[in-house]
Amino acid sequence: MHFKRFTTFAAVVAAICATGMQSSRADDYPSKTVTVVVPFAAGGNTDTFGRLVAEQLDKRLGQRFLVENKPGAGGNVGLGDLARSKPDGYTIGMGTVSSNAINQTLYKTLPYDKEKGFAPISLIATLPNVLVVNPDKIKATSVEELIELLKKEPGKHTYASSGVGTSIHLAGELLATKAGIKMTHIPYKGSSQAILDVVAGHVDMMFDNIPTAAQQVKAGKVRALAVTSLDKAALLPEVPTMASIIPGFEATSWHGIFAPPGTPPEIVEKLSKEVQAILAEPAMKAKLEGMGATPVGNTSAEFKAFIATETAKWAEVIKAANVPPQ
């Protein structure tokens, strides 16, 4: 009896001590510079969003949040480094729909454990794509007319993307699957050259991130047929949604922030609350919305559930379109 009482008492004391240690660990964090890995090149949307959030974390938490770009292999190089980092909160990183949902199915092997994945901190923003066509190559002025044309001429017309397995590529595959059409995919190493070749008429059409495509639309160099978000886009308010034409069609790009697997939950929670507060600030919301993005900010659990849904959704598209594994 005495031994049982002692072990019970010891367990209670241990639990209290552990709770105290966790609280202390979160209270003291961060006490030095935090590295923010961006697994893509500088200047893109992921880099921009990461730097905006890092700058505000600097101010709110009183320590430097230093962005480090580690591009390569569709984000896998940087995410591999993130996964191998010490899980103490001093290395965190950005991720996207491609790197953290699509790649799970697209790549045969990944430089991190698919099961363990990462510790999701918060979803920063979603960004719609927009379907644009070269007006000289494609006379269709609506998605319905485009589908009718592509059914009459299967495989004849081309669409560009920023690379195999990107949300821009798979938006095209999703359209082909849902509409029962055939197009020829022309992958590029980035969206900048892809949209320029659509403008030049070397490729007929593409889905592109709305910030860059909107400039070409407003200049009259391409025609916008539909946006891929469920709601209309502020940058192109006159353009209909794909979902209003093809029910259930949604293919948004998204950007979030992660920690290595095994990072203490109290540190993840602290960072998540800070990111949510940053994204709720009117100035930050206005800045992101001005870029065509929708700021989000959610809990780690909500972000984890969102990623699971996105991973399953794009796995179905990849399999239905017979996209070869990379």
The reply to whether 222 and 149 lie within a common domain is yes
- 């940058």: which residue's tokens? 235
Q: What is the DSSP letter of 251?
A: -
- What DSSP line would sit under 146-210, residue for residue? HHHHHHHSTTTSEEEESSTTSHHHHHHHHHHHHHT---EEEE-SSHHHHHHHHHHTSS-EEEEEH
In a domain, 78, yes or no: yes
Q: 1 pLDDT exceeds 80?
A: no
Distance CA(136)–CA(57), nearest Å, equals 47
Q: Tell the burial category of 171 from Cβ atoms under 10 Å away from its Cβ (0-12, 13-18, 19+).
A: buried
| DSSP for residue 113 | -
Question: 207-260, pLDDT tens digit by residue?
Answer: 999 988 999 999 999 999 999 999 999 999 999 999 999 999 999 999 999 999
φ/ψ of residue 55, rounded to 5: -60, -40
pLDDT at 43: 86
- pLDDT attached to residue 123: 98
pTM of the model: 0.86
Q: Is residue 9 part of a domain?
A: no
Q: Which domain holds residue 186?
A: 129-244
Contact of 256 with 120, CB cutoff 8 Å: yes
Domain contains 153: yes
To which residue do tokens 């195999």 refer? 164
Count Cβ atoms within 10 A of the Cβ of residue 250 and give its class: 0-12 exposed, 13-18 middle, 19 or more buried.
middle
| 162 and 92 fall within a common domain | no
Q: How many domains does the chain have?
A: 2
- Asked if residue 135 and residue 56 are part of one domain, the reply reads no
Q: Is residue 15 one of the residues assigned to a domain?
A: no
Looking at 191-264, list the stretches that DSSP marks H as alpha helix, in order from N- to C-terminal side.
191-200, 210-218
Q: What is the CATH number of the domain that holds 297?
A: 3.40.190.150
Give the rounded distance of the alpha carbon of 164 from its chain centre.
15
Under DSSP, is residue 139 helix (H, G, I), strand (E, B) or coil? coil
Of 200, 220, 244, the residue that ends a domain is: 244
The string of pLDDT tens digits covering residues 23-60 is 557 889 999 999 999 998 888 889 999 999 999 999 99
User: Does residue 207 lie within any of the structural domains?
Assistant: yes
